[in-house]
Structure 1
Amino acid sequence: MLVWPFVLAAIISLLGLASGLLMFWRYPVPSSPDSLEQQHPSLVSVIIPARNEERRIVPLLESLSQQEGIAFETIVIDDDSEDRTSEVAHAYNARVIRNKDLEDGWIGKSAACWIGAQAAEGKLLLFMDADTAFEETDSLLRYVASYEKLGGKGILSLQPYHQIKQVYENASTIFNIIVMAGMNVFTPFGERLLSAGSFGPCILCNRADYDATGGHAGIRGAVMDDLALGEEFQEQGLPVRCYGGRGIVRFRMYPEGFHQLLEGWTKNFGTASKSTHPFVMMLVNLWITGGLVTPALLLLSSLFGSSSWIMTAGVLYLLNVIEMAWLARRTGNFSWWIFPFYPILLLMFTVIFVYSLYLTHVRKTVTWRGRDVQV
């Protein structure tokens, strides 16, 4: 029996496990209320771009209506919706601005954010996706106070905690992990690696910095507006911090079904990977490779190996399952039973990622919310 294939596979598996730990070593979140100084931040303008969000926007508006200890205004930019988005927003006393005409060179969400920023009265601007929602009544206060505690400059963006309700939503497991790891700032090096941009669902900044960088007008043609806005801030010497949103803000992605989930994750995911630091990209690739090699080692050992190799492969597989659960549960409440089947999740991610590269670099068109977007 040749031993070297088993040894090589075991080494790759171990490297993958180590890479998974390193790429998602840190998980900073906004400070707890007990550690915050008592502050009374300036008026916050919560700007919500919304296109056909009648079914998704209610939890956010409901959670906003329950926020305490902070002054804020809610502005919903109805991005030419074909449903009752405006009526729903009005029912929660939000200020609604209808954006019907999309000028040449603009992407819908960027245009909506820009219009909202121009209408905002607050000194702080918080851009929130319509499918997000605050967890507690002091979540907005904690978010803003943490921003102020960090100096009140640049961007503090949060990746919401992903709450799932249907089995198919577990297909987002790997994507959520890599979205966070790919921002570069969750390794042991922390913010010594430049952030890849900002998380799109929750972006908090001050008006002065937003205006100085050109805001969304300066990145009007970017499909990945969150990454582009963060990069623009960094080019102006402003800090961009990315935190986890667990305990502060949540979202439920793609509740309409598996088809929307596929459309959402293929929407230029390949382009987003360009912003990831080469070191972090190496860790991600090693993690995926190690995760796929491990079940192959288990199969190979079962067919041709000794009992010791079967035991070794079994332990490595179990360690991958545990690590996958540890990483995933940082990003969302994914089902525990899904983790033993993690190779299927990795294969699904790989296929969708390759398809995203095809859409981005060959077709140069992606589809989102009923619109064909040139990339």
Structure 2
Amino acid sequence: MTASEVINLAIGFLAVMIGIIMFWSLPVPGFTSRKTAGLPFLSIIIPARNEEGRISPLLQSLQEQRFKQFEILVVDDDSSDKTAAVAESCGATVLKNKGAGKSSACWLGAEHAKGSWLLFLDADTRFSSVDGIRSLLHFYQEKGARGIVALQPFHTVERLYEHLSVVFNIIVVVGMNLFTIWGSRFKTAGSFGPCILCNREDYFLSGGHKGIEGAIMDDLALGEAFLDKDLPVRCLGGKGIISLRMYPEGLGSLIEGWCKSFAVGSKSTHPAVMLMVIIWISGSLTTAGALITSVIERDPAMMILSGALYVLYALQTAWFARRVGDFRWAVFPFYPVLFLFFAGIYLYSFIRVNVFHSVKWKGRKIKV
């Protein structure tokens, strides 16, 4: 066994240990009470652009909630399909956004909202529990009903290509800076975007979505706006409460979606967390390379050690992934493909943002 092989193995094992430090836990709001007394009227605001085929599960899950003290405002963001008709058929109030983009749609919804608490939901989410809203509201109330509580929905997958989002989902959570072994020691990068709960007073005090209009990563920007007003931002996992299926339209949509956000969003990650992410990703590829090399050179000792490390990495990746989504175990023996895809899209996103200064999303060209 050569010195370089020993170094590669050492890097791999170090990366596994750093992975544990990097993604120590992902808490979710606990269910505390079945009571609804004391909970205020809630306005649910759903910005939607061409969501005809995806918004129905969310609206149905809202109708099934045991907590009933809410209104549903779907803000149609210049859709060219039947999004508005579908929303109205499910009992939602539809508002027409005269601006352009998610932030202006959310602001319009907040202006028309009657509730003292506001819940912003992406159209492709859905509550996975009939007590989902009640659990979320009780958690917010227990924390003083101030600032933001944001959940990252549990990612559900149906088709094989959707597993290519595995590493992205892990890094999106880790990149918020809150889930290392040190907990909230690092300042949060902002807020998760698909599910944001806040109170009306804090929302308008922060400037809300109007103050961040034009930001590509509206969720991170909104969190920063709340923090600037010394309002707390709490981010948690949504497993057992709320879920989503990302980019069911196909691989092209998946690439476009992750390209839109990733290189920009990574700028908000704490340098220490970013360093851990880089080491963890590099270790995954180093480990795979060490195994391939040992097989080519027919080195039994190296094959055993690198093989054990490869299995360890596959199990760790699966462990992390199953915290954020129902990804199938069968894909993780091929985990290097997932990491290579992540690296390729990250590089493409970096070029789009820093060289061409534009990205595409839902038929719009967005300047950055």
Question: Scaled by the length of structure 1, what TM-score is found?
Answer: 0.96
SS at match of 1:177: helix
Read off the aligned partner of 2:284 and give its amino acid letter.
G
Counting aligned pairs with the same residue, the percent is 49
Residue 89 of structure 1 contacts residue 96 of structure 1 at CA under 8 Å; is this kept in 2? yes
Residue 367 of structure 1 contacts residue 373 of structure 1 at CA under 8 Å; is this kept in 2? yes
Residue 268 of structure 1 contacts residue 360 of structure 1 at CA under 8 Å; is this kept in 2? no
Find the aligned partners of 1:39 and 1:357 in 2 and give their Cα distance.
Answer: 49
- Cα offset for 1:302? 2.0
1:55 matched residue in structure 2: 53
Find the aligned partners of 1:154 and 1:193 in 2 and give their Cα distance.
Answer: 18
2:117 matched residue in structure 1: 124
Read off the aligned partner of 1:40 and give its amino acid letter.
G
Find the aligned partners of 1:131 and 1:33 in 2 and give their Cα distance.
Answer: 27
Q: Which runs of 5+ in 2 are unaligned?
A: none
**1:196 alignment partner, one of 189, 205, 208:** 189
1:13 matched residue in structure 2: 12
1:286 is the counterpart of 2:279? yes
Find the aligned partners of 2:36 and 2:90 in 1 and give their Cα distance.
Answer: 28
Q: How does 1:81-92 map to 2 (within 5 A)?
A: 81-92=79-90
Residue 39 of structure 1 contacts residue 145 of structure 1 at CA under 8 Å; is this kept in 2? no
Find the aligned partners of 1:324 and 1:59 in 2 and give their Cα distance.
Answer: 29
- Cα offset for 1:361? 0.8
2:168 matched residue in structure 1: 175
Aligned length: 368
1:112 matched residue in structure 2: 105
1:244 is the counterpart of 2:237? yes
1:42 is the counterpart of 2:40? yes
Residue 36 of structure 2 contacts residue 134 of structure 2 at CA under 8 Å; is this kept in 1? no
Residue 132 of structure 1 contacts residue 249 of structure 1 at CA under 8 Å; is this kept in 2? yes
2:268 matched residue in structure 1: 275
Larger mean Cα displacement after TM superposition, 109-118 or 262-271: 262-271
Larger mean Cα displacement after TM superposition, 344-353 or 64-73: 64-73
Find the aligned partners of 1:38 and 1:91 in 2 and give their Cα distance.
Answer: 27
Find the aligned partners of 2:83 and 2:326 in 1 and give their Cα distance.
Answer: 28
Change (3 A) 1:43 1:153: same
Find the aligned partners of 1:69 and 1:338 in 2 and give their Cα distance.
Answer: 38
**1:133 alignment partner, one of 109, 117, 126:** 126
Residue 36 of structure 2 contacts residue 67 of structure 2 at CA under 8 Å; is this kept in 1? no
Q: Deviations over 1:239-262 (max 9, x none)?
A: 111100000000001111111011
Find the aligned partners of 2:9 and 2:105 in 1 and give their Cα distance.
Answer: 50
Residue 29 of structure 2 contacts residue 135 of structure 2 at CA under 8 Å; is this kept in 1? yes
2:70 matched residue in structure 1: 72
Find the aligned partners of 1:70 and 1:147 in 2 and give their Cα distance.
Answer: 17
Change (3 A) 1:39 1:293: farther
1:27 is the counterpart of 2:20? no
- Cα offset for 1:136? 1.2
Read off the aligned partner of 1:8 and give its amino acid letter.
I
SS at match of 2:246: coil
- Cα offset for 1:38? 6.4
Q: Deviations over 1:42-88 (max 9, x none)?
A: 01110000000000000000000011134111000000101110111
Find the aligned partners of 1:178 and 1:22 in 2 and give their Cα distance.
Answer: 14
1:303 is the counterpart of 2:327? no
2:254 matched residue in structure 1: 261
Find the aligned partners of 1:305 and 1:240 in 2 and give their Cα distance.
Answer: 53
SS at match of 2:184: helix
Find the aligned partners of 1:305 and 1:12 in 2 and give their Cα distance.
Answer: 21
Larger mean Cα displacement after TM superposition, 306-315 or 135-144: 306-315
SS at match of 2:211: helix
SS at match of 1:262: helix
Find the aligned partners of 1:38 and 1:312 in 2 and give their Cα distance.
Answer: 56
Read off the aligned partner of 1:234 and give its amino acid letter.
L
Q: How does 1:150-189 map to 2 (within 5 A)?
A: 150-189=143-182
- Cα offset for 1:292? 0.4
Residue 41 of structure 1 contacts residue 70 of structure 1 at CA under 8 Å; is this kept in 2? no
Find the aligned partners of 2:35 and 2:64 in 1 and give their Cα distance.
Answer: 22
Read off the aligned partner of 1:47 and give its amino acid letter.
I
Q: Deviations over 1:297-354 (max 9, x none)?
A: 1122223363222111010000001001100011111111110000011000000000
1:363 is the counterpart of 2:356? yes
1:225 matched residue in structure 2: 218
Find the aligned partners of 1:4 and 1:303 in 2 and give their Cα distance.
Answer: 17
- Cα offset for 1:268? 3.0
Residue 70 of structure 1 contacts residue 140 of structure 1 at CA under 8 Å; is this kept in 2? no
Find the aligned partners of 1:283 and 1:214 in 2 and give their Cα distance.
Answer: 34
Read off the aligned partner of 1:118 and give its amino acid letter.
E
